[in-house]
Structure 1
Amino acid sequence: MKILIVEDDEDKRRQVSEFLKELAPDAVLQEARSMQSGLSAILKGGQDLLILDMTMPTFDITAEEDGGRPQAYAGRELLRHMKRRGIRTPAIVLTQFDRFGEGLDLLTLEQLDTALRAAHAGHYLGAVFYSVTDESWKAHLEKLIRSQVPAEG
């Protein structure tokens, strides 16, 4: 199984990677750190599962690049790009925020999850709330992954 993790936060990406290595030791993990590098990796294809952050910079942050404008709905944009191109790789949103956007554009994680399920039925598996202090995200993520991966044996 090849899993792409699109996540800009170094600590969160490391925690998620370590958990996935425990859960699926034979999995090949690929990482992207922004909306654009995530889109590039998705378009190259070959992944069996996508773990998408929701809020991230437009571009990878480097010594020369500040990442561009932060994207409150970057994960949703990646799912939209996938839909337009007919890419149906199973995807899970893993976020440490419970609210996104501002003003009229504000959505709770629950509202966003409902909207994504409607817009991307069949390949959007669900949203997981990530917390540094509460590891319940691991059980939720595992449940969503196992809902998509056939049991071995």
Structure 2
Amino acid sequence: MMRVLAVEDNDPKWSRIEAVLRQGLGSIDVVRARDLRDAERLVEEGGWDLLILDISLDIRAGGDRGGRGAHDYTGGLKIAGRMFYLECEVPTIVVTGFDAFPTAAPAAGHEVILGLEDVGRQARRFLGHHLLGAVRFGSAGWDADLLELLKGVGHA
């Protein structure tokens, strides 16, 4: 059975993504990391056949602010970098709800805004041919785009 690691911190978004995954791949074993910390740990476990990767992630689930901890707008890129350095790259599909990503806290005064294309280029630097593509969640036809990318996994 195909093992899928899904790095996604938003429950309603995850429900919709999971439905598309199951439609495209059938019977799969899915493990979900809800924050950057869990994602780093699970990536190191290895044995994944597919990674569904959000870019903007909670650093640690829980905390204050309505049950959410601190946030890293480019946390998914850190996961991709970790995979590269650990030599554990797997087929990866980026599914993100944003088209722009600040790289630093605005108070730091060094904020740079990356577009979705910039993020894709950076992810490709880390993942090479393992990056199957990126989908802008919520855009018109996002689910059909994800289904098309799942065909690249060889099981759709």
SS at match of 1:28: strand
- Output aligned runs, 1:41-60, within 5 Å: 41-60=42-61
1:122 equivalent in structure 2: 129
Work out whether residues 6 and 32 of structure 1, in 8 Å CA contact, stay in contact via their aligned partners in 2: yes
**Percent identical:** 28
Letter in 1 for 2:119: L
Asked if the contact 2:5–2:48 (Cα under 8 Å) also holds between the matched residues in 1, the reply is: yes
Whether 2:149 is the aligned partner of 1:148: answer: no
d(CA) in 1 for partners of 2:112, 2:95:
20
CA contact (8 A) 2:8 2:32 kept: yes
Residue 105 of structure 1: how far off its partner (Å): 2.0
What amino acid is aligned across from residue 149 of structure 2 in structure 1?
L
Confirm whether residue 106 of structure 1 aligns to residue 113 of structure 2.
yes
Runs of 4+ in structure 1 deviating by more than 3 angstroms, as ranges, are: 65-68
1:61 deviation in Å? 2.3
Unaligned segments of structure 2, at least 5 residues? 104-109
2:20 is the alignment partner of 1:19: yes
- Tell me if the contact between 1:3 and 1:48 (Cα under 8 Å) persists in the aligned partners: yes
The answer as to whether partners of 2:62 and 2:68 remain within 8 angstroms in 1 is yes
Letter in 2 for 1:126: G
Deviation at 1:79, TM superposition (A): 0.3
CA deviation map 1:63-96 (0-9, x unaligned): 8x95542101011000001111001211111001
Aligned CA distance change for structure 1 residues 130 and 120 (closer, same or farther; 3 Å): same
Q: CA RMSD in A?
A: 2.1
Partner in structure 2 of residue 86 of structure 1: 87
- Give the number of the structure whose residues are more often helix, by fraction: 2
Question: How many angstroms does 1:11 deviate by?
Answer: 0.2
Q: Which has the higher contact order (CA 8 A, sep 6+)?
A: 2
Shift of 1:148: 2.9
1:138 equivalent in structure 2: 143
Structure 1 unpaired stretches of 5+ = none
SS of the counterpart of 1:120? Answer: helix
Separation in 1, partners of 2:93, 2:67: 27
Tell me, in whole angstroms, the C-alpha distance in 1 between the residues paired with 2:18 and 2:147.
13
The one-letter amino acid paired with 1:58 is: I
Residues of 2 paired with 1:97 and 1:88: CA distance? 24
Partners in 2 of 1:69 and 1:33 — Cα distance?
13
The answer to whether the 8 Å contact 1:95/1:130 transfers is yes
Letter in 2 for 1:61: G
1:117–1:125 CA contact under 8 A, matched in 2 = no
